[in-house]
Every structure is written in C-alpha cells, then in structure tokens.
Amino acid sequence: MQISVIGCGYLGAVHAACMAELGHDVVGIDVDAAKVASLSRGVAPFHEPGFDELLARNVESGRLRFSTDFADLAHAQVHFIGVGTPQVQGGYAADLTYVNSAVASLLPHLNHHVDGPTLVVGKSTVPVGTAATIAETIAPTGALLVWNPEFLREGFAVQDTISPDRIVYGLPKDPESAGTAQGVLDDVYKQLIAAEIPRLTTDYATAELVKVAANSFLATKISFINAMAELCEATGADVTQLAEAIGHDDRIGKKFLRAGIGFGGGCLPKDIRAFMARAGELGVDQALTFLREVDSINDRRRDHVVNTARDGLGGTFEGKKVAVLGAAFKPDSDDMRNSPALDIAARISGEGATVVITDPAAGPKLRAARPTTHVADDAYTAAAGADVVLLLTEWKQFKELDPTRLKDAVNNPWIIDGRNALDPTTWRDAGWTYTGIGRP
C-alpha cells in the first residue's frame, strides 16, 4: 500500500521503516530538513538497536523515502501521525501543537484515493478526547480516522513494531465507517494479523486511554518497588530479594520490579502528568491523585543518590571528583530526555564537584550538545581519580566492568549502584565499598 508517516522522530522514523519492511511504499514527512536529509541517506539520527540496518535497507530498496514537502504524501491512502506531544511549559498538560499542525498540513491532501477511502491513523500519545476532535476536522474530506496507539520500548522499537504484543484500533462510531476503516488498516497490518497477533477494536476514547493507562501502571509498579526500597533501607531488608519473592506471584510478575533511581525518558514522566492534567479537565482529578505520589517517589530516588554521595564524601562535593556511568535514561538508547542520570550529575556538579560522564551511545551526543560538560570515552577514563563512582544507566558495558582494573583508576574505591545492576560480593571482594539501592 501507499503510506505516509507524518513526524520522523523516534516513533515516526521507526514506524516508517517497519512499514516499508512489510512491503509498503512509504514516505516520511518532517519539518526538520537536517533530519530528513540524514534519513534519506539511510543514516539514523538516533541510536536504536537494529534500526540502522532496517533504515538503510529500505531506503536503498526504494520503498522508503523522506521529504519536508507535504505535497509528497498526496498519493498515499493511509496517513500515520507520529509527532511528539511534549509537556507544556509551566504545566502538566500535553502540548498538542505538533499534532494540530500535522492535521492542518495534511487536510489539503486528503483527497479520495483511487484504491478506496483515505485513512488517517493516529499513533501519537494524546489526551483522551483528541481523536474525536480530529475526526470532526477531517470529516468534510471524506477521510476516516483510526486511533492506533504505539507501545514502543526504546531499545526494542523495531521488534515492538514488527511483532507487537497487541494491536489496538480506535474506530468511528458509525458501524459502516468502522468496518471500512478497519478493513483498510487490516490491509496495512495483514502480515501481523496473519501471525495471530491479538487485535483489539474499540472506540476512540478507549484507544487513547490504553497507552496512558499502560504507562501509568508501569510507572506505578516502578515507584512501588522504589517505595519498598526506602523501607528496606530503614530496616536492613534487601529489596532485590523482596522483588524476587513477590514477583513469583503471577498476579504481580517480575517485570518492572527493579529498584533504582527511577524512570525517565520521553514517555512515562510526561504521560502520567498529562493524564493527571486531563483528569482534572474532565472533573475526575481524584481518580488519579495516586499518580502524584508515583511521581514524587520517582523524584525522591534521585535525591537519595545525591544525598548518599554527599554524606559519604564528608557532607560536601566541593573539591571532589565524581564519575557518572550513564547519560541516557535507559540502556540501548541515546535518549537523554528527563534522564535521571543527567539530573543527578547536574545536581552534583551544581554543588561544586567535578563530574565526568560516560555513556556508550549518548556520550557523543552529550559532548556535542554541551561542550562544557566533561565526557569521557569509557568508564575507566571517567573514573580516573574519582572519589565516588555512580552507576546510573545499566549498560552491559558497565555491568561487565573489571572492578580490579577500575579500582586502580580511582582515588577512592566507592561505587553507588543506582540500578542494582552489579553483584555486591564481587565488588566488595575486589576492595570496593559497594552501596546499592534498598539492599544491605
């Protein structure tokens, strides 16, 4: 099929490449000329395992191209909207500027397609009620809207697009329109449907809520185990053993039960805040007040690492060197949006420490974006002369560090494992003072 994807950031670029991989003719549209030029050369503007090869292969095949001109999507029958919805300045609500701009730019090109009805498919994470408004806006053109939320995990985005654990369609109320729209989108995803990936059909509002509800649940689970870490630290209990014990209950499960410095990134923090803001607009803010505590617990874990490091260095960071292992908010990504690691590093630097950061993927981006920041090429260089080492992003490279070699580099062999990614016994046996999160 002929498909367009509006917005070629992380979500849109991956979706466009994956749709081309499924055999469709795809054009990606973005207003950022530099990004479009990079993608057109088959060069990924961000780090995502498996994406570079996928992108290059489909650009070379001719099935995938990119443009800044909306006129280049006029031939498409299906238009995916995958632009960002950041948090508004000075508030919790989602900023729909990019969504509204995408719809406005798309409208003049929503002509009836020769192969059937034109479909607009929303992928962006939006406040509930947005889809209904967009459906009304495009209705005069004859185009139909489906809300098809994304569930990408950074580091697994290609896999989650080609082989998701479920597909959700938010369809029009009118049964005939719903049937027509479902048929067109089924054609797009026919290989996924043939693979018996669960497909759920529902209304617009439910489809919009699926994404924010899922992210809110995951954020709650992370903050729950971090709250347990606070209790463990007060009692001498071990949160890693606690998590393992409760995780064997299949009603709870083991995933997302790793205590640490909390969640970050471009989704969970802003999504739960936008969810709270939208609940307030709908007059049901009390339904989501628990998310305020989820957010608060998450912030406290960052404070905890800063306070622990400061206390261990005699109550001040002045004149101290701190090595920070990690800049991305999670491993296998170079995404530094709302990164707990960078937040902690900035706070410590602000209190007078010399902070040196290293990250396998985000390091070069950080060096380019912030030339005054001390960025090292590897952990051993970053740790040279350090008074404390902070492991804040659980990259495989950091988990496999040689504690004996690293000890030879530092001024003081003390490591704070902000992700509980290391084996305490191994590091202590190598002569380190090991401090984890919620564990003895």
Residues 375-390: b if buried by 16+ CB within 10 A, e if exposed: bbeebbebbeebbbbb
Q: Is the dihedral of CA 254, 401, 359, 7 positive or negative?
A: negative
Rounded CA-CA distance 54/19 in Å is 11
Residue 18 annotated among the catalytic residues of the structure: no
Position 191, amino acid? Q
What is the SS3 assignment for 183?
Answer: helix
Are 323 and 353 spatial neighbours (Cβ–Cβ below 8 Å)? no
Exposed/middle/buried for 9, CB within 10 Å: 0-12, 13-18, 19+? middle
| 359/266 Cα distance (integer angstroms) | 18
> What H or E segment, with its residue span, contains residue 29?
strand 25-29
| Other CB atoms within 10 A of residue 117 CB | 16
Strand order from edge to edge, sheet including 144-147? 64-67, 25-29, 2-6, 78-81, 119-122, 144-147, 167-171, 199-203
Q: What is the CA radius of gyration of the chain?
A: 24
Q: What is the DSSP string of 112-173?
A: PBTTB--EEEE-S---TTHHHHHHHHHGGGT-EEEE------TTSHHHHHHS-S-EEEEE-S
**Annotated catalytic residue: which of 8, 18, 232, 267?**
267
Contact between 64 and 55 (Cβ < 8 Å): yes
Catalytically active residues, by annotation: 267
